[in-house]
Amino acid sequence: MVINKNYIIWSLVFVPISVGIFFIIRQSIILKLANNGTRAELYYAAKRLINPPEIVRAIYLTSTSVANGNKIDKLIDLANKTELNSVVIDIKDSSGYISYDSSVAEAEKYKTELVEIKDIDALVRKLHENGIYVIGRMAVFQDPILAKARPDWAVKNSSFGGTWYDNRRLAWIDPANRNAWQYFSALAKDALMAGIDEINLDYIRFPSDGNLEAMVFPAWEKEKTRSQVLKEFFKYMREELGNVRISVDLFGFVTTRTEDFGVGQVIEDAFEYFDYISPMVYPSHYPPNFLGFTNPAEHPYEVIYYTLSEGQKRLNEFLQKMNNEQRTFLRQGFGGQAMNRKPKIRPWIQDFKLGAEYTQAMVEAEIKATQDALGDQYNGFMLWNAGNNYHEGVF
């Protein structure tokens, strides 16, 4: 067989160039779509799960777990055998690292990628083929990597200047910094382009530990309260992402307390802009004597039933107020497109050992409490275990 030398040269030189040009063009198209309202929403819709579940039953997986093919196969097998139908994966974790090769130019510039998920498009497609709803979790203002790349965006320390750190030596982004908002919005849009069905925003708050008196927020206009700053960010993200599903993780206390307890989180502010409000109602996180229990972690049903009942009561009051004022949830999405939403509560619940040895029966009690508390507004739950070890029998 005679091989033409010109053919070899063409293969070695021009094929790689052509492939490179293809990906450059693809990224250009994606970025243009992300800034072009209606077309972007159509593109998102084309890649999302066709029939998203009404009742979400989800587990959380780190990017390391997601990168493990065996764990993904195990997830799919469990979903095929049980009522598990959803997964929460990190697209940006609390270290600030993005878990896949994104198309966001700033991610390359700031070196904020740690690529563990080698092909996010293929991963999402595989999960969708098996009927699994994919929620992309983004830790927001706790972001040590971005703070290192952009110290001018970070919370400052009044005592000695430079970046402020919390008790774990982690840096935070000033929640009022709108340049950072644009970065977070671009990351969310990029994940949606990969077919992620829902964006879940975590760490949307001011820091809660460390030398709080020394914190300086360069972009924060002091006439605004912390909760007003966060509400403006909620509104910004809704308008940037348009008519897609967005959820927000809040401290469990937001359902039972009306003040923002120093971090800016007020549940009514979230009702207005998110599809799902996800209070982290882990019984182990409530203080001794909460509801009269010496150790609330040992009483998962009672703690979760009470906290979610209170949250649903406040949501019902909020919706009634909206109705009385003849207001709707119409928000301007991409290209001025209007949309209508009705927020729901969908909690994070505990499947980890803290405060008590969490058995399958205790996790089942949490799920039962969620169903009983939310009634006809029940729309599921998300299980949290940082090590991704779950009681599979609850599904």
CATH number of residue 209's parent domain: 3.20.20.80
Whole-angstrom distance, CA of residue 193 vs CA of residue 116: 18
Do the domain assignments include residue 133? Answer: yes
pLDDT at residue 339 in the model: 53
Q: Can you give the residue range of the structural domain that contains 165?
A: 35-394
Angle between helices 5-34 and 178-193 (to 10 degrees): 120
CA dihedral sign, ordered 49, 52, 187, 93: negative
Do the domain assignments include residue 284? Answer: yes
Number of domains making up the chain? 1
Do the domain assignments include residue 27? Answer: no
Angle between helices 69-81 and 120-129 (to 10 degrees): 20
Whole-angstrom distance, CA of residue 330 vs CA of residue 279: 24
Q: How many CB atoms lie within 10 A of CB 258?
A: 10
pLDDT at residue 324 in the model: 82
- Furthest C-alpha separation in the chain: 86
For residue 197, give the DSSP letter.
S
Render pLDDT for 226-277 as a digit per residue (tens, 0 to 9): 999 999 999 999 999 988 999 999 999 999 999 998 999 999 999 999 999 9
CA angle 13, 18, 22 (to 5 degrees): 155
Do the domain assignments include residue 18? Answer: no
> How many CA within 13 A on the CB side of residue 335?
12
Do the domain assignments include residue 267? Answer: yes
Write the CB contacts of 60 (distance below 8 Å, at least 6 apart in sequence): 87, 88, 89, 137, 382, 383, 384, 385, 388
Q: How many CB atoms lie within 10 A of CB 2?
A: 4
Do the domain assignments include residue 381? Answer: yes
Do the domain assignments include residue 99? Answer: yes
Do the domain assignments include residue 275? Answer: yes
Residues of the chain with pLDDT under 50: 1-3, 7-10, 12-13, 15-16, 19, 22-27, 29-30, 332-338
Alpha-helical (H) ranges within 35-155 are 37-47, 63-66, 69-81, 105-110, 120-129, 144-149
